[in-house]
A = this chain, B = another copy of it.
Amino acid sequence: MTGRTTPARRRADAERNIAAILDAATRLLSTDPDASTADIAQAAGVGRVTLYGHFPSRQSLVEAVLEHTITVAGATIDDRELRGLPAPEALARLVRSSWEILDRHGRLYSAAARALPPELIRAHHDPVLVRIENLIDRGRHDGDFRTDLPVSWLVATFYSTLHNAAQEAGAGRLPDPAPVLTATLLSLLLPPSDPRSRLSSS
């Protein structure tokens, strides 16, 4: 609820600052989930009081950032062109083009999890997560992805691996993440040929 019930016409000035704050908060919170409002305000080139003028509490700011990130990521990860492709190819392209955005999305998501009550998190529908899940699901139905492991596990591992790659890349231990990431994710998702890596459906 960042106040869009009434049009609430703001001055151009204010609008600009709100955007700057949101942007700075997104940037800072994705690297340090515990960034202070003071840091965020400074990074946005704005007084701390101004920040509180627009966001009544730190929590509401985090919430707005979450919503903002979900929107941005959802717009960027436009999968219309991926619809026609076989799932493995679609996933490879998706990762190659936007693993960074996906990772930031994931980080912000867990930053929000630290600062927001769980029910508030769950209240935000997350189209990105849904899309990933749909993609994996489609691959399974087409026989391109493995079906011996639960979908929820595959999705979780997908994000976990993404985050891991971003960490490693950030630490300089992984110069060119995209290809490595793609290979790893496909190893995870493609049907296992070796029986040792197949879950025996006891």
A interface vs B, CB < 8 Å? 88, 92, 148-150, 152-153, 156-157, 160-161, 163-164, 167-168, 173-174, 179-180, 183-184, 186-188, 190, 192-194, 196-200
Other 10 A-B pairs with CB < 8 A, given A153-B174, A161-B161: A149-B183, A152-B174, A153-B180, A157-B184, A179-B200, A180-B199, A183-B197, A184-B188, A184-B197, A193-B193
Contact check, B196 vs A186: say whether CB atoms are below 8 A apart: yes
Contact check, A198 vs B184: say whether CB atoms are below 8 A apart: no
A114 to chain B: closest residue by CB: B34
**How far apart are the CA atoms of A155 and B153 in the complex, in Å?**
20
**A185 nearest CB across to chain B (Å):** 8
**How far apart are the CA atoms of A132 and B18 in the complex, in Å?**
48
Q: Which residues of B contact A163 (CB under 8 A)?
A: 160
Contact check, A150 vs B193: say whether CB atoms are below 8 A apart: no
**How far apart are the CA atoms of A156 and B152 in the complex, in Å?**
22
**How far apart are the CA atoms of A152 and B184 in the complex, in Å?**
13
Q: Which residues of B contact A197 (CB under 8 A)?
A: 183-184, 186-187, 190
A91 to chain B: closest residue by CB: B196
Contact check, B194 vs A186: say whether CB atoms are below 8 A apart: yes
**How far apart are the CA atoms of A159 and B179 in the complex, in Å?**
20
Q: Which residues of B contact A157 (CB under 8 A)?
A: 161, 164, 184
Q: Which residues of B contact A173 (CB under 8 A)?
A: 152-153, 156
**A122 nearest CB across to chain B (Å):** 12
The listed residue (B150, B167, B194, B200) touching A190 by CB distance below 8 A is B194
Contact check, A180 vs B88: say whether CB atoms are below 8 A apart: no
**How far apart are the CA atoms of A153 and B167 in the complex, in Å?**
11
**A151 nearest CB across to chain B (Å):** 11
Given A183-B197, A187-B187, A190-B197, do A160 and B164 touch, yes or no (CB 8 Å)? yes
